[in-house]
């Protein structure tokens, strides 16, 4: 990934030579706001699409224009999680209430999706239709995480609500069937 971000020459073992690059593999030490977004967005298409529609990208008059590196870091990249929406980072530019609302909505939805994931995993091979629920869970989680890049409170809270509704649907479909399977096993053992 270093080569992807900064260029350089990956065919040599010497750090000095790798950083000097060759004419066709130029090493760049600085990346602009736009270059960082382009590099990350090369693989992360949906987060890029949401980021480009969001206030952090559209507000060109910001004193510090945030980009992917602002939240995820440049080296030792932090995975997407509600913890990235943190007060020290967000409150350096924003009133603390909005990042807290966004964090809470994503955190609560993620907690419910994780519980649904446990049920889906428990039901694998025992109940029909679980593969479809697992695919829907992946889509729901991806959409929820992707929206966080736009940081639109209304969209995030609406989508978090939809994610929690999906989790409740999974619970309603699978929990009674799993309980029935469990009791069936107990009756077999006792009987």
Average the pLDDT over 158-180 and give the result. Answer: 93
Which of 30-44, 59-73, 86-100, 123-137 is predicted most confidently? 123-137
For the chain, the straight-line distance linking the first and the last C-alpha, in angstroms and rounded, comes to 60
Higher-confidence position of 160 and 89? 160
pTM of the model: 0.66
Average the pLDDT over 135-147 and give the result. Answer: 87
Average the pLDDT over 144-149 and give the result. Answer: 77
Q: How confident is the model at residue 1 (pLDDT cuts 50, 70, 90)?
A: very low
pLDDT tens for 112-122 read: 999 999 999 99
Dihedral sign (CA 62, 68, 71, 76): negative
| In the predicted structure, residue 175 carries a pLDDT above the cut 50 | yes
Q: How confident is the model at residue 69 (pLDDT cuts 50, 70, 90)?
A: confident
> Contact at 8 Å (CB) between 50 and 147?
yes
Q: What is the pLDDT of residue 112?
A: 96
| In the predicted structure, residue 59 carries a pLDDT above the cut 60 | yes
Work out the percent of the chain whose per-residue pLDDT is above 90: 28
Print burial letters for 169-185: b (CB count within 10 Å at least 16), e (below 16).
ebeebbeeeeeeeeeee
Structure tokens at 25: 């593999």
| In the predicted structure, residue 80 carries a pLDDT above the cut 80 | no
- How many separate helices (H) and strands (E) can be counted in the chain? 10, 0
Structure tokens at 8: 């350089």
pLDDT tens for 15-47 read: 777 776 566 666 666 567 777 888 888 888 888
CA nearest neighbour of 78 among 153, 151, 139, 145 = 145
Q: What are the distances in angstroms from CA 13 to CA 8, 9, 31?
A: 12, 9, 24
Average the pLDDT over 148-158 and give the result. Answer: 81
């Amino acid at each position: 990934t270093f080569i992807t971000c900064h260029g350089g020459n990956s065919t040599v073992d010497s750090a000095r030579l790798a950083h000097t690059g060759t004419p066709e593999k130029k090493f760049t030490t600085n990346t602009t706001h736009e270059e960082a977004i382009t590099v990350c967005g090369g693989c992360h298409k949906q987060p890029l699409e949401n980021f480009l529609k969001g206030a952090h990208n559209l507000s060109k008059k910001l004193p510090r224009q945030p980009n992917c590196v602002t939240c995820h870091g440049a080296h030792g990249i932090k995975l997407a999680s509600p913890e990235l929406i943190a007060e020290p980072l967000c409150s350096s530019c924003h009133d603390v209430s909005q990042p807290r609302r966004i964090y809470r909505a994503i955190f609560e939805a993620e907690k419910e999706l994780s519980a649904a994931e446990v049920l889906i995993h428990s039901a694998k091979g025992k109940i029909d239709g679980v593969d479809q629920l697992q695919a829907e869970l992946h889509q729901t989680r991806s959409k929820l995480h992707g929206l966080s890049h736009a940081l639109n409170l209304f969209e995030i809270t609406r989508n978090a609500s939809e994610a929690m509704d999906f989790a409740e649907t999974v619970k309603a479909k699978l929990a009674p069937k799993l309980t029935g399977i469990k009791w069936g096993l107990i009756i077999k053992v006792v009987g």
